[in-house]
Amino acid sequence: MYLSIALLILVNLASLVSPVAIPNKRLPPRIDYDTIIVGGGPAGLAALSGLARVRRKALLIDSGEYRNGLTRNMHDVLGHDGVTPAYFRHSARGQITTYKTVSFTNGTVTKITPGRNPVSPGTSFFTVTADLNTTVGPTTKQLTTRKVILATGLIDVIPSTPGLAENWAKGIYWCPWCDGHEHADQPMGLLCDLNDAVGAFREIITLNSDVIAYVNGTDTPEYRALNDAAFPGWEKYLAEHNVKIENRTIISIKRVKDGSEGVHDPSLPSTAEFDLFDIELANKTDGNDVREIHQRGVFFTSFPSKQRSSLGEETGVYMYSPGRLGVDQNMRTNIDGIYAAGDANSDNSTNVPHAMYSGKRAAVFLHQKLSQEDSVWEVTRLLGSKFVKKGTRFQKLDPRLIWRMMNGRSREDDILHAGDFDP
Ligand SMILES: Cc1cc2nc3c(=O)[nH]c(=O)nc-3n(C[C@H](O)[C@H](O)[C@H](O)COP(=O)(O)OP(=O)(O)OC[C@H]3O[C@@H](n4cnc5c(N)ncnc54)[C@H](O)[C@@H]3O)c2cc1C
Ligand SMILES: *[C@@H]1O[C@H](CO)[C@@H](O)[C@H](O)[C@H]1NC(C)=O
Ligand SMILES: *[C@@H]1O[C@H](CO)[C@@H](O)[C@H](O)[C@H]1NC(C)=O
Ligand SMILES: *[C@@H]1O[C@H](CO)[C@@H](O)[C@H](O)[C@H]1NC(C)=O
Ligand SMILES: *[C@@H]1O[C@H](CO)[C@@H](O)[C@H](O)[C@H]1NC(C)=O
Ligand SMILES: *[C@@H]1O[C@H](CO)[C@@H](O)[C@H](O)[C@H]1NC(C)=O
Ligand SMILES: *[C@@H]1O[C@H](CO)[C@@H](O)[C@H](O)[C@H]1NC(C)=O
């Protein structure tokens, strides 16, 4: 089998040296983009940067509702510790715009429809429908692309307790790495169910010591049983660290002081932020409805999050529990040609460095996949589709193998020798 393939290649390669038969090596420009990236947070931007560096034609479409949009400063991102998220994106965009093959647009992708690839049949192809805001007003566009990266992010599900959403991300935080250091050693409240109290306290144990767990009516036998099963001795452990459990219902949270007041020196990665809140409590079981107010400097929360966009699920991307776009280690979803990066994917890692890593990784694998598809397409043109159809295995070969087969048995000094593999 291999011998006959090699022979076939040699015979067809002969046409390469004839001046009339040189095939057009470029794909006809019938597909708008190599890749469309949905979402312009750090994941989408990292993917766009990677694709720009290898001159892929890519478009990023962003609806601009970033998960950390409300936070004061972004932390724990090397070289950018303490800058605003908006500055970070601005700086990234500024650098990426110097590359010519990629572009951005404001807009919302509403639909992704897989279709038949008109250029290289059998490979991925999508029509992407987007509502775009152009200079002449809003318009709906249909764009075609070979690959899609979903970098659509997550949204935090914040309970409706008055004052919580209003003050979110400014003294009420969910991520110790992001905002803990600015509120270290301040009186802290945990906002979580009883079964999350131990885990939450362990996360901030190096930052705060005056801690009350506001479990909001979840100090019940059921939740206690969950704790007993997960960590026998939990109550003693919390008591040992003076963590009080406050079971009364949280009525409201009111800001008393804004920790962003005063000067934030932008040259300093971390500046203490002195927020202050009133948390109002009521005992729902005693009928008297006697209210009590505690003051805390900072709250650490344990709330759920969900997909910002239903686009992935609607397109048929397999969802891993808990509501994440399922990916393999190369950020590929179950749909050929669709990748997912950043908070939205199933890596279970939700921070800016992960968003950048996964966006970059998606770009790398997608670029290689495109090159591989193109190489198969080129060989098909050289050898005829019958050949490729017959050997379906061939489609799966990597570029290095194809290179070797193209070289066949030619010696290094042979005119047909293409040299060593050099992607
Ligand atoms: C309060 C807070 C503070 C944080 N602080 C830090 C920190 O200090 N350091 C850190 O490392 N991490 C921090 N994080 C986590 C960080 O925000 C996320 O990890 C990061 O934003 C993930 O990047 P992403 O690109 O995946 O998603 P996002 O940044 O959320 O971006 C997703 C983008 O996709 C867009 N989008 C969604 N659907 C569509 C669609 N259909 N069409 C077009 N666009 C679409 C959205 O509008 C959004 O612009 C913080 C999070 C919160 C909530
Ligand atoms: C587009 O413009 C409309 C109003 O003109 C606005 O409501 C919407 O948020 C804009 N969308 C984006 C993605 O900029
Ligand atoms: C895109 O949206 C951002 C806000 O998200 C806005 O600042 C910017 O001006 C918009 N750009 C265009 C070209 O509409
Ligand atoms: C507290 O519990 C009530 C219902 O018992 C709920 O409506 C509210 O969202 C909860 N608040 C928080 C902060 O968990
Ligand atoms: C905690 O509050 C809930 C709801 O009000 C109540 O059912 C439960 O008995 C309380 N637990 C304790 C230990 O008082
Ligand atoms: C709530 O009221 C009940 C009934 O009076 C009482 O047993 C319980 O200790 C109270 N809980 C708190 C936290 O004050
Ligand atoms: C993410 O979490 C889910 C549910 O807990 C788990 O099934 C999955 O394996 C995790 N993924 C990774 C990459 O750890």
Residues of the chain with confidence (pLDDT) below 50:
1-23, 27, 390-397, 423
Nearest to 423 by CA among 360, 368, 362: 368
- How far apart, in Å, are the Cα atoms of 137 and each of 104, 131, 132? 17, 10, 8
pLDDT tens track for 2-22: 434 443 343 333 333 333 334
The domain limits of the chain are: 2-155+305-373, 159-301
Distance CA 125, CA 117 (A): 5
Same fold, 2-155+305-373 and 159-301: yes
151, 129 contact by CB (below 8 A): no
pTM for this model (two decimals): 0.86
Task: Return the CATH superfamily for domain 159-301.
Answer: FAD/NAD(P)-binding domain (3.50.50.60)
The whole-number pLDDT of residue 26 equals: 55
- How far apart, in Å, are the Cα atoms of 72 and each of 68, 95, 277, 279, 302? 9, 23, 17, 22, 20
The whole-number pLDDT of residue 46 equals: 98
Distance CA 301, CA 60 (A): 33
Which CATH number fits the domain 2-155+305-373, given the four candidates 3.50.50.60, 3.10.20.30, 3.10.450.50, 3.40.190.10? Answer: 3.50.50.60
The whole-number pLDDT of residue 137 equals: 85
The whole-number pLDDT of residue 398 equals: 53
Nearest to 189 by CA among 272, 302, 282: 302
> What is the H or E stretch that residue 130 is in?
strand 126-134
Hey, which of 45, 106, 134, 139 would you mutate to test ligand 3's pocket, going by the most ligand atoms within 8 Å of its Cβ?
Answer: 106
Phi, psi of 32 (to 5 degrees): -60, -45
Distance CA 142, CA 135 (A): 18
283 within ligand 5 shell (Cβ under 6 A): no
Hey, which of 106, 110, 141 would you mutate to test ligand 2's pocket, going by the most ligand atoms within 8 Å of its Cβ?
Answer: 106
The whole-number pLDDT of residue 5 equals: 40
Q: Whose C-alpha lies nearest to ligand 2, atom 7?
A: 133
